[in-house]
Structure 1
Amino acid sequence: MKIDRRSLMAAPLALGMAHSAWAQTAVPKVPGGALPPGLPQPSETIDLWPGGAPGMPARALAETVQERSTDRLVTDRAVFGITKARMAVFRPDRPNGAGVLITPGGGYRWVVVDKEGYEMGRWLAARGFTAFVLFYRLPGEGWAAGPDVALADAQRAMRLIRARSGDFALDPERVSAMGFSAGGHLCADLATRFDAKVYAPVDEADKLSAKPHSAAPIYPVISMTAPDAHAGSRELLVGKSASPALEAAHSPHLNVPADAPPFFLLHAEDDDAVPVNNTLLLRAALKAKQIRVETHLFEHGGHGFGLRKAIGKPVEVWPELWRAWARTTGLAL
């Protein structure tokens, strides 16, 4: 779907006042302790659904934060029970006009906001990108949208970023997506089903395109079919007894449209959680549709390396590989 540049450029003017009036949800605190020194925390958030998220579960949810780190200098928060889907914003000192929507992993059990969210947000902001870390709702928590609930949040987030592009000195056509593990599935889902009707329009922002400029699923969950499927993500997304049709509907490599954006793919071949064949399946599907795709496979790296666990390994170069590739797409000028 072609993005209407005129409507994108006009949208921030029409929507800015309404957005500024919304009450925004704070970022999560570290349970039982102070935040580590030297790690800037985002103070700005954007709630996705001004009237409350649609399709609330029958069972009340309470947002819960678990601190998984044993190092007092590094946080590793996992958040679940999210009812107020939102984005945490990392603004650069000198914006380069490009934005990146980040979807952290967590196996659709929770959202790992530090290791695959805030750390990448800081890295991107230091290089001129405006980063938006998405706190998306989880499909196993009883939402009416079922397996499409996280995609609804990702689509809505992309549209809101474009609607508010003037607030962030962004070119609304240069908003990319990046995701990790199950968040890589969400990233790929957004980049292949950006035009799927998964929620009822809320406001003028929903007239804008949800198609990302480009997509970077990093060690992503892709297939919902054994033996390639990540069992935990599959169970929470489509259920243990999902039919082949339901599996296919939520396997991004089986839903690549002819107008999909360019992809950057990265995986370690010794990943013992999400088989590397997930990335290879997506690459083959993109190639079959003649979609631009850059692919990097590393011998070692395991799963969930993000930035911190890549240090000292050949795979630590991956962010700069992505940045160099992004320049070829016109995202990073």
Structure 2
Amino acid sequence: MLDRRTLIAGSLAAAGLAARAGAQTPPPAAAKALPPGLPQPTETIDLWPKGPPSRPASPLTETVDERSTDALVSDRAVYGVTRPRMAVFRPDRPNGAAVLLTPGGGYKWIVVDKEGYEIARWLTARGFTAFVLFYRLPGEGWSSGPDTPLADAQRAMRLIRHRARDFAVDPERVAAMGFSAGGHLCADLATRFATRVYDPVDAADRLSARPFLAAPVYPVVSMDPAIAHAGSRNLLLGPSPSAALEAAHSPERNVPADAPPHFLLHAEDDEVVPVENTVRLRAALKAKGIPVEMHLFANGGHGFGLRRAIGKPVEAWPDLWRAWARTMGFA
């Protein structure tokens, strides 16, 4: 039985949560009618209550391009993000673990569906709470330069922990998973989680940004021109970066002694991001004694996500990650 005071307090709390949710920036808009039967996020979390801590050189307009011509498949890419935010996917039965997803797009745009929402749905079907990060792009003139995406990723990790109770999440068990250029952001977060790239704005920033686990998938890693993805490198660092700038943004050269365990995945026939990116990161992690599991597949190409892995041996990768995560005490 609930007394009147409890009911009123509960109603006020619910109203407060609704107001907070309603005040958030919606997810990137759909450019066409969305395929039926696929849950779309309705809940978002803005990262910066008073706007991002840096400014673009010129005004930006958030734009969504639909790249699919198939009515049953959505393949959106978003750019011009000025209000970085997370789209939230809640499972029906939370297992207490959360994953921050950083989709790729070569730092030119952010792939919404293939490396964001589709992965999030797979995770929530298995009890994980998923947060898809729409981060600011470093080539769009932000005054914080190449640290711009990392600032958003650090802030996202801290906000998930700060609001862990709202999502039935253990604040310690928050992992990171990223793809392609988003894999670079994932690896950058996992190696430079303690690097101060913005001034604290509230209590959330007293919390750690270190992921419990990190999973860079077919990632851009090194800024060494010999193996770097040229487009990502140029948009992150500019056309003529110094050797010091290259080193600062090459995760394999910045692995700390307390880096989280890593799950690494790449296809050896990747013609976009050379597999040597992942191999170098593994070597750097092993040199520091960081637990690491690496899977290299002969075939898969680049950007396979879930849908393009179907029917190939690389299709097994999500279950391999889940089994590994279980051995790490994640779920």
Interval of TM-score (by shorter of Structure 1 and Structure 2): over 0.9
Indicate yes or no: 2:158 matched with 1:159. yes
Q: Map Cα deviations across residues 81-128 of structure 1 (whole Å, 9 max, x no partner).
A: 000000000000000000000000000000001000000000000000
Quote the residue 1:172 is aligned against: 171
Partner of 2:96: helix, strand, or coil? coil
| Matched AA of 2:267 | A
Indicate yes or no: 2:315 matched with 1:316. yes
Quote the residue 1:326 is aligned against: 325
Quote the residue 2:209 is aligned against: 210
Q: Take 2:126 and 2:216, find their aligned partners in 1: how far apart are those partners?
A: 20
RMSD in angstroms over aligned alpha carbons? 1.5
Partner of 1:27: helix, strand, or coil? coil
Q: Take 1:97 and 1:237, find their aligned partners in 2: how far apart are those partners?
A: 34
Question: Structure 1 residue 34: deviation in Å?
Answer: 1.4
Partner of 2:265: helix, strand, or coil? strand
Question: Structure 1 residue 227: deviation in Å?
Answer: 1.4
Indicate yes or no: 2:286 matched with 1:287. yes
Partner of 1:320: helix, strand, or coil? helix
Quote the residue 1:79 is aligned against: 78
Question: Structure 1 residue 144: deviation in Å?
Answer: 1.1
Number of positions where the alignment pairs a residue of Structure 1 with one of Structure 2: 317
Quote the residue 1:94 is aligned against: 93
Quote the residue 2:129 is aligned against: 130
| Matched AA of 2:78 | V
Question: Structure 1 residue 260: deviation in Å?
Answer: 0.3
User: Structure 1 pair 269/312, CA: closer, same or farther in 2 (3 Å)?
Assistant: same
Quote the residue 2:303 is aligned against: 304
Question: Structure 1 residue 22: deviation in Å?
Answer: 7.6
Quote the residue 2:58 is aligned against: 59
Question: Structure 1 residue 53: deviation in Å?
Answer: 0.9
| Matched AA of 2:20 | S
- Structure 1 stretches of 4+ moved >4 Å: none
Q: Take 1:302 and 1:273, find their aligned partners in 2: how far apart are those partners?
A: 8
Quote the residue 1:5 is aligned against: none
Q: TM-score, normalised by structure 1?
A: 0.93
Indicate yes or no: 2:114 matched with 1:118. no
Tell me if the contact between 2:135 and 2:153 (Cα under 8 Å) persists in the aligned partners: yes
Quote the residue 1:13 is aligned against: none
Tell me if the contact between 1:97 and 1:169 (Cα under 8 Å) persists in the aligned partners: yes
Question: Structure 1 residue 21: deviation in Å?
Answer: 7.1
Question: Structure 1 residue 30: deviation in Å?
Answer: 2.1
| Matched AA of 1:52 | G
User: Structure 1 pair 222/330, CA: closer, same or farther in 2 (3 Å)?
Assistant: same
Partner of 1:155: helix, strand, or coil? helix
Tell me if the contact between 1:156 and 1:206 (Cα under 8 Å) persists in the aligned partners: yes
Tell me if the contact between 1:95 and 1:130 (Cα under 8 Å) persists in the aligned partners: yes
Q: Take 1:113 and 1:206, find their aligned partners in 2: how far apart are those partners?
A: 27
User: Structure 1 pair 325/232, CA: closer, same or farther in 2 (3 Å)?
Assistant: same
Quote the residue 2:29 is aligned against: 29
| Matched AA of 1:147 | P
Which ranges in structure 1 are unaligned for 5 or more consecutive residues? 1-15
Partner of 1:196: helix, strand, or coil? coil
Which ranges in structure 2 are unaligned for 5 or more consecutive residues? 1-15
